[in-house]
Amino acid sequence: MRLLDLFSGIGGFHKGFEQAGYEFEWTGFSEIDKYASAVYKHRFPNAKELGDIAAIRPERDLPDHIDILCGGFPCQAFSMAGKRKGFDDTRGTLFFEIARLLRHYIDTGKPINHFVLENVKGLLSHDNGRTFAVIYGVLTDLGYTVECQLLNTKWVLPQNRERIYIVGHIGSGSRSKVFPITEDDKRHYEEQLSRTQAKGQGQGVQHTQDRRGCALPRDGQVKAVLTPNRVEKRQNGRRMKEDGEPMFTLTGQDQHGVMVKEATSKGYAVAQEGDSINFCNPNSKTRRGRVGKGIAQTLDTGMEQATIHPNKIKILGNLKGQGGHECHNVHSTQGIAPSVRENHGKTTMVYKQPAIRRLTPIECERLQGFPDQWTSKGNLNGKVVDISDTQRYKQCGNAVSVPIVQLVAERIKNGQV
């Protein structure tokens, strides 16, 4: 089979189709971000790099037949987080480049059998639905039967990420539909994942079975701090000092977790191990829902999410207590050792305060269903290079969720459409 992967990013569509059992003899990918392209080339070394979609000339750059076209066309023009200019934004008009390529193959008498497109939820409501109506009309006018569904990554991974998936097959008829994706489809994915785990395969994906997978401990990240007006006030019976981090909306609360300031009647939410914290616009007085209970919120390109570094008991040797004696009591690293008991030993157990840390690139990969370290290396100008964390966060935020693509691809592969 042959795959045309447009706005390909780091290969989420390609990976999802592969996990659904597809094998491609030819793959072409189009992406203008050089670091995303580098990752794609590293992971799929036999794929043909096509560059900017606007520069693709199918009679010159593409084979005479393609089976599947896929693409997460630029969403900023339709996103609720952006200005939502839609087709007035040049990024929005890139959809018509997809239509141009589809039309080429129709005109040559060898239409592309299926397409799978992805975009943000806001596409459905933009301009009172007229933007989506234009997209739907263009695709149906080309001769495709079109269906769509809003799918949420949280069905299979611990990330709340709603995206619209648009699927088309050439022609009309009474064939079964891809959508809706049902509970049976989700259970099928989970069963398949369990089988993969049992075989010891699927590095990275295996870690996402746990819905608290966004809280994977790692030492030494961002500390919890007090709000500015409480820096020198007593908290839980002791005085704490400002840590210097810009997270001024957060307060450390010992073993109970971390209080996160929110514009609610309660005024805060408590984040504990396994929860996510969205620290975008930390000084906002109107922000709600910063804490995701056991689930990450939608990953973005700037990676504005964190999680809790859990409480720990650390064993130290020869720590001096009051009076210079060694002690083995449990105490906080924020203060001094307590009074030493008569039967003191030569070690002490230190209670480490809960801290806030940013999600790691590996965690972001897992939250999107990629194997561990998928974005860590890239092929840049023929040389394998390390990819910076900044670029890795950006790539994960822009990516499609691999297992969601897999669910859609399986419905197509099984001959139901």
Q: Answer with the residue of higher pLDDT: 398 or 259.
A: 398
Which residues face 357 on adjacent strands? 307
- 237 band by pLDDT with thresholds 50, 70 and 90: very low
Q: Answer with the residue of higher pLDDT: 157 or 79.
A: 157
- Secondary-structure percent of the chain, ordered helix, strand, coil, rounded to 5: 30, 25, 45
Residue 248 pLDDT > 70: no
Average pLDDT over residues 133-139: 91
Q: Answer with the residue of higher pLDDT: 414 or 193.
A: 414
Q: Answer with the residue of higher pLDDT: 344 or 285.
A: 285
- 170 band by pLDDT with thresholds 50, 70 and 90: very high
Average pLDDT over residues 310-316: 58
Pick the CATH number of 2-211+371-413 from 3.30.460.10, 1.10.10.10, 3.40.50.1820, 3.40.50.150: 3.40.50.150
pLDDT of residue 208: 33
Please give the structure tokens belonging to residue 30.
């189009």
Average pLDDT over residues 304-325: 64
pLDDT of residue 371: 97
Which of these is catalytic: 75, 148, 364, 396? Answer: 75
Please give the structure tokens belonging to residue 279.
């620290």
Average pLDDT over residues 349-362: 76
Alpha helices in 165-298 (DSSP H): 183-198
Active site residue 75: yes
pLDDT of residue 393: 96
pLDDT of residue 321: 55
Q: Answer with the residue of higher pLDDT: 375 or 306.
A: 375
Q: What is the DSSP letter of 295?
A: S
Please give the structure tokens belonging to residue 42.
């590293």
198-222 confidence digits (pLDDT tens): 544 433 333 333 333 333 333 333 3
- 81 band by pLDDT with thresholds 50, 70 and 90: low
Residue 379: how many CA atoms within 13 Å on its side-chain side? 12
Q: Answer with the residue of higher pLDDT: 348 or 411.
A: 411
In whole angstroms, what is the distance from residue 138 CA to residue 131 CA? 11
Q: Answer with the residue of higher pLDDT: 130 or 163.
A: 163
Alpha helices in 26-164 (DSSP H): 34-43, 58-61, 95-107, 122-125, 130-141
- 183 band by pLDDT with thresholds 50, 70 and 90: low
Q: Which of 18-27, 50-59, 234-243, 249-258 has the lowest mean pLDDT?
A: 234-243
Q: What ranges do the domains of the chain cover?
A: 2-211+371-413, 228-311+354-358, 313-352
Contact 114, 168 (CB under 8 A): yes
Contact 123, 150 (CB under 8 A): no
Residue 275 pLDDT > 80: yes
Residue 94 pLDDT > 70: yes
Residue 310 preceded by cis peptide, ω within 30:
no
The three-state secondary structure class of 241 is coil
356-367 confidence digits (pLDDT tens): 888 999 999 999
pLDDT of residue 254: 40
10-62 confidence digits (pLDDT tens): 999 999 999 999 999 999 999 999 999 999 999 999 999 999 999 999 999 99
Average pLDDT, the chain: 78
- 171 band by pLDDT with thresholds 50, 70 and 90: confident
Contact 5, 30 (CB under 8 A): yes
In whole angstroms, what is the distance from residue 333 CA to residue 315 CA? 12
